[in-house]
Structures are given as structure tokens and as C-alpha cells.
Structure 1
Amino acid sequence: MNATRRQQPRRLVVKLYQFFHISSAFLYCALLVRWLVLLPLVSRKYLPGGIHRFLCCLMVYSAVGNILWWIKMRGLAWSIFNRHNLKNINLIYLVAILHFYDDFEHSPLLKNTSYSSFIVGLSFTQMYYHWNRIFKGPSPEPRSSKSLASRLNAFIMIPLLYLSEFYLLLLNTEIDNYHNGPKTVLFNKFVLVVFIPLCLHLYKGFLYK
């Protein structure tokens, strides 16, 4: 009887964990479908107005959820600044600097081709990541796979995501907007300096894990 009572909270945690990853995978799939539908209809000029708010809410949801599950499963004794959580911190950072709140529909930055490339790369990599985590714990080092989806993720989508994000960050420092103060611009330039070396290090670790 006592063993059954102990198992019930554990089952609830497992179900909630699986729900988070299933919902995140399907929401990123919905993001990709939304982009596929909107782009031919409205072109890049009006794309941000139909997708940007959803994109930002989704990035915050998946990033914060991943961090909370990491703490729940691993505890604070494990370093939160690992490869697993650097991705989550990066997503929150992107929302903070690229979500202009009041005028994102008219931002030239979000009408660039790199914005669409970022959406495609992010959608696929996050769908692949969350789907693989549904029946696993939050391990930062998942087993390598030789499936077509794994190869597509490793050799096309991750580089596409890194390159498009770098270009978006570069444009953000070059295009004037009143949302970026001097300190924000300085911090964004520092991120740009460390971005490529850090991405290469993380990508190498992903390929040769």
C-alpha cells in the first residue's frame, strides 16, 4: 500500500515531464507549419506580424520549462551552465533582444531572410530534441543516432540555426533602433565575439559525443 502511494507522485511527475516534451515538440511543429503557410501568403515583409509573438512565447515556454525540469531532475548541485542549458539561456536572450514588443511588425531586422532560416532551423532542431526526450531523462549527452533525422539535424539544421542566429545578432547591432541602448549594444557585441567559438565548441561536442 505504501509503495503504491509512493509511486503515484512519481507517475504524475513522469506524465508531466512527457507532456512538456510532447507539447513542446508539437508547438515547434506548429511553428514550422505556420511559417510554411504564412510565407507564400504574406511574404517576408509581413511575416513577423503573423508569427513573431508566437515564436517568442514558444521559446520562453520551452527554455524555462527545460531549465525547471533540469533542476527538478538533477538538482542545483549540477551546474546549470552546461551545454544543455546554454541553449535555454540563449533562447531567453534572443527573446529579450529581438522581441521589440510594440513595433516588431515593422522591424527590418525581422524581414531579413535569416529570420526565416532561424525559424526553420529552430523548429526542426527543437522538434528533434523534445521528441527524443519524451521517454528519457534530461541527459545532456543523449546517445548518438545514425537515422536520417539525426543526420539532417546534425549536418544541416544545427549549422543553419547557428549561422542564421549569428547573422540576426550581427544585424541587431548594425540596424539602429531605439530599443538598444549603449550598454545593450556593448553586451550584444560581446556576445557576437564569443558566439562563433562557443558554437564551434558545442557543435564539435555534439558530433563527437
Structure 2
Amino acid sequence: MLRIQENYLVLLKTKVSVQIQSSMALFSHSTISKLYQWYQICTTFLYLALLARWIILLPLVGSKFLPGGIHEFLCHLMVWSSLAELVWLFKFHGFKNGLQSRTLVKCLNFFYFVTVLHFHDDYEHALVLKNTSYSSFIIGLSLTQSHSHWCKLFKRGFVSKKSWFYKLETWIWMPVLYISEFYLLLLNVQNPNFHSTPVLDRINRVVLVLFFPIALTLYKRQL
């Protein structure tokens, strides 16, 4: 009789332990899913906020003083959204698949852009940022990224090639983004500043040479 009771207690403990572990796993999965959804929602609206900020500021201050009201926000958004996106990339796709994805190249490109064009102590007077291509870059960046993160929220990145948003992104927004970024990087090389160093100048020139081959390779995957 005692042996039966002991076996019953062991069985009961095992069952309770399995239920606790399964509920914890379910809770963990649910929490991760919610965090992922919140990230996509917040990032979408932050990039839309970037576009709204540009729409409001440009008529008020013009391109001459636009960097003073938007550049710091732009740099922080590009860095922190990319860091979070890399975390989710390696979380869901693993390290090996993550290294082969377009997302990794995009995030590294954002980090590089902020590194060479942050002008953190004098962005209000940076000649490069007063060019028209700076506004084009903001428009292309905000539209492509807000659309990308919004699609990942509901369709895991899948977008019908027949949709208007796909056509706008593929044939207008992305080309505007690529061309304007290249021109900004070119202006940065042509207009040395006190952040420039001989090593950084060589790196910038190498990036300019490789920019369009890499961009076209990634663009073909979009088609």
C-alpha cells in the first residue's frame, strides 16, 4: 500500500513538473512574440515619425537648418533599430543564416552611415547634410523601413509583387534611398572635415567603389 502511494506521488510530481515546464515554455514563447510585435510596431511608427518630422521642419527652417532639428533623431533611430533587428535576426534565423541575410548588410550599412556622417558636435553646420540628397535619403529611408517593419509584423516579410506598396518600394523608394545615400557618401569624401583621417578616407573610397555592386546585388533579390 505504501509503495503504491509512493509511486502515485512520484507520478503526480512528474506530471506537475511537466505541466509547469510546458506552461513556462508557452509563457516564454508568448512573451517573445509580444516583444517582437512591439518592436515592429514601435519601429514602424518611429520611422513614420521621422518622415513627419521632416515634413514639418523643412517648410519652417529650410534645408539649411534642417539637420539641426532632425539629424540626431535620425542617427539614434538608425543605430538602435538596427541593433534590435540584429538581435531578432539571430534569434529566429540563427547565426549562420543571419550572416547570409540582406538584413545584416542593411544594418551594417546603417552603422557605417552613422559612423561617417554623424557630425555629432557640429551637424548644424555640416555642408554635406544641407544638400538636397539629405532630404531624399530621409524620405527613402522612412518609407522603406516603415513599410518593411509593418509587413514583418503581419506577413513575416512577405509582400505580394502585385501590390502598389511593393511597386512603390521597388521602383521608387529603394532607388531614391540608394542614390541619395551614395551621393551623400560621395560629398563626404569631397568635403573633408575635422573628423576625417587618412585611414577613414581610404575606407570611404573603398565603400564608394563597392557601393553600387552590393546595392544592385541586393536589389536583384527584391525583384
| TM-score grouping bracket, smaller chain normalisation | over 0.9
- Quote the residue 1:32 is aligned against: 51
Which residue among 35, 49, 52 is the counterpart of 1:16?
35
In 1, Cα distance between equivalents of 2:198 and 2:100: 27
Letter in 2 for 1:61: W
Paired residue total: 204
Using the TM superposition, name which of 77-86 and 42-51 deviates more: 77-86
Moved more, 72-81 or 19-28: 72-81
The C-alpha deviation readout for 1:88-141, integer Å capped at 9, x for no partner, is 11001100000011001000100000000000000000001000111355x6xx
State how far apart, in whole Å, the 2-side matches of 1:193 and 1:151 are.
28
Deviation per residue, 1:24-52 (Å, 9 max, x gap)? 00000000000000000000000000000
Cα separation, 1, equivalents of 2:99 and 2:51: 29
Question: Runs ≥4 in structure 1, deviation > 6 angstroms?
Answer: none
1:169 to 162, 170, 185: 185
The answer to whether the Cα contact below 8 Å between 2:40 and 2:152 also exists between their aligned partners in 1 is yes
Percentage of pairs with the same residue: 48
TM-score, scaled relative to structure 2: 0.88
1:143 to partner: Cα distance: 4.7
Which AA in structure 1 matches 2:103?
H
**Aligned residue for 2:79?**
60
Give the counterpart letter for 2:199 in structure 1. K
Relative to the length of structure 1, the TM-score reads: 0.94
Whole-Å Cα distance in 2 between the matches of residues 70 and 39 of structure 1?
35
Structure 2: gaps (5+ residues) = 1-18
Which residue, out of 106, 116, 123, partners 2:125? 106
Matched, 1:187 2:206: no
Give 1:183's aligned amino acid: V
Query: Structure 2: how far apart are the matches of 1:4 and 1:55?
Result: 41
How big is the alpha-carbon RMSD for the aligned residues of Structure 1 and Structure 2? Answer: 1.3
- Amino acid paired to 1:63: S
Deviation at 1:78, TM superposition (A): 2.4
Paired amino acid for 1:13: I
Quote how far apart the aligned CAs of 1:79 are. 4.3
The match for 1:44 among 47, 55, 63 is: 63
The unaligned stretches of length 5 or more in structure 1 are: none
**The structure with more radius of gyration:** 2
Mapped partners of 1:58, 1:5: distance in 2? 33
- Partner-residue secondary structure (3-state), 2:208: helix
Q: For residues 121-167 of structure 1, give each alpha carbon's deviation from its aligned partner in whole angstroms, at most 9, with x where no partner exists.
A: 00000001000111355x6xx35432111111111000000000000
Is the 2:89–2:98 Cα contact (8 Å) retained in structure 1?
no
Greater RCO, CA 8 A, separation 6+:
1
Q: Residue 178 of structure 1 is aligned with which of 176, 194, 197? A: 194
Which one-letter code corresponds to 2:209 in the other structure? Answer: V
- Check the 8 A contact 2:140/2:176 in 1, yes or no: yes
Question: One-letter code of the match for 1:198?
Answer: I
Q: Distance in 1 between matches of 2:77 and 2:61?
A: 22
Code of the residue aligned with 2:64 in structure 1: it is K
CA separation in 1, counterparts of 2:73 and 2:100?
Answer: 27
Counterparts of 1:7 and 1:204 in 2: how far apart (Å)?
39
Deviation of 1:61 after TM superposition, in Å, equals 1.3
For 1:147, the equivalent position in structure 2 comes to 163
Q: Who is 1:130 aligned against? A: 149
**Residues in 2 aligned to 1:131 and 1:167: alpha-carbon distance in whole angstroms:** 28
